Structure 1
Amino acid sequence: MGHVHYYFLFACVAYWTPLRVTAVNDFSWANCDGKSLPVTIQTLTILPDGLRFPGEMTMSTILNTTVALTSPIKMKVTAEKFMQEWIMIPCLNEVGSCTYDDFCDILNRLIKPGKPCPGPLHTHGLPCRCPFQSGSYYLPVTSFHVPDLHLPATFTSGNYRISVVLNQGDQEIGCVKINFSLARSFSHLP
């Protein structure tokens, strides 16, 4: 019963309190199942730890897949916040603990088909849309400008853990766990 109260509180606050994220700290990640699944992150580095919004960041990664990634790829995100115990954050406006029927469709909404991939991906010859062929994808150390980040107020200051599970058909093909803390300030959005 206590979890229901947290969900209700999250839902109410999310609609009435705009939130501006000012920093992400203590970022860490791990493949859920070691390296036994077909899609894994070999390396991922994001600096600085204490990433500020807006601000500059650098990132490098190596992603490996032993299978081609084709539509549809179901993506299940579980987001939790520590509030004396881990509490699941509900899915509100496609943010939080949500299940997406097709990760490829999300990519197509972010980067319209026919448009070039964003700068660093294009520069390094990396794809940004499905299908992804099997193989390794390497993004060398690359700098990005990170704009102001506004999230629903369910993501208040505190410690978070997120798991992302990818399924192709009925087979789990990838899973990653991410931990971080958020610092935030309230803002008045138009």
Structure 2
Amino acid sequence: MRAALLALCALQLCPAALGGPGRPQVLVERSGARKLRKVGGFSWENCGDGKDPVVLQSLSVAPDPITIPGSLRISAAVTSAKALTSPLKAVVVVEKELGELWIQLPCIDQLGSCTYSDVCTILDNLIPPGMTCPEPLLTYGIPCHCPFKAGSYSLPASDFPLPDIELPSWMTNGNYRFRAAVSNNGEELACVKLAFSLQAQ
């Protein structure tokens, strides 16, 4: 499920939450911002060395393309061979295809190729400690706070409504790829690559 959460962030569904403490949990109108209308061509793969304790076993995102606003159906399965504790560092690299080249996008306003020092803190900002995990996580026994126990987590196909989403002006139409590596005290725990195309207006 952690990888599924990263996938959602990659699709720009939770950029405000990644801003950390004090950042509003809504998408603010930006100068030159455009509305995301479609996300298509979604694919994924694990990118660790085969020894990472956390492995994304499956991830399905439908429909293809995803129309926004609209509805998104996600199913995912993750296995973890060890408990995951704070701090969970996430290094995210986002690249855009330009002709035959892939150009790495900078980190601007906590979007793009950014390093997040502790995903656990981000989760606590999204869902304050003590609050019940939201559906459908609650129904399927998927935790939403650190530490995460070792074991298997599975999210059956679940529907999520998608509101209007604003993209920053520098995130233009085209093909993107996204790599997220999660580590704890220098030990890589998981690595996932995603690819998708964006269409905005």
Does the alignment reach a TM-score above 0.5? yes
Query: Which residue is equivalent to 1:127?
Result: 143
Rounded to whole Å, the distance in 1 between the matches of 2:171 and 2:139 is 33
1:92 maps to 2:92:
no
RMSD (CA atoms): 1.4
1:38 maps to 2:53:
yes
1:50 maps to 2:60:
no
Paired-residue identity, %? 43
1:20 to 35, 38, 41: 35
- Alpha-carbon shift at residue 175 of structure 1 (Å): 0.3
Question: Cα deviations across residues 27-77 of structure 1 (Å, max 9, x unaligned)?
Answer: 000000364311110000011010111111211110111111110011000
Q: Following superposition, which runs of at least 4 residues in structure 1 exceed 2 angstroms of deviation?
A: 33-36
Could you tell me the TM-score, scaled by structure 2's length?
0.82
The aligned runs of 1:72-83 (5 Å cut-off) are 72-83=87-98
Structure with the higher fraction of residues in helix conformation: 1
Could you tell me the TM-score, scaled by structure 1's length?
0.87
Larger radius of gyration: 1
133-142 or 151-160: which moved more? 151-160
2:195 to 179, 182, 188: 179
Rounded to whole Å, the distance in 1 between the matches of 2:107 and 2:136 is 30
Tell me, what secondary structure is at the counterpart of 2:188? strand
- Where structure 2 has 5 or more consecutive residues not aligned to the other structure, the ranges are 1-29
Aligned length: 172
The aligned runs of 1:117-156 (5 Å cut-off) are 117-156=133-172
- Alpha-carbon shift at residue 81 of structure 1 (Å): 0.4
- Where structure 1 has 5 or more consecutive residues not aligned to the other structure, the ranges are 1-14, 186-190
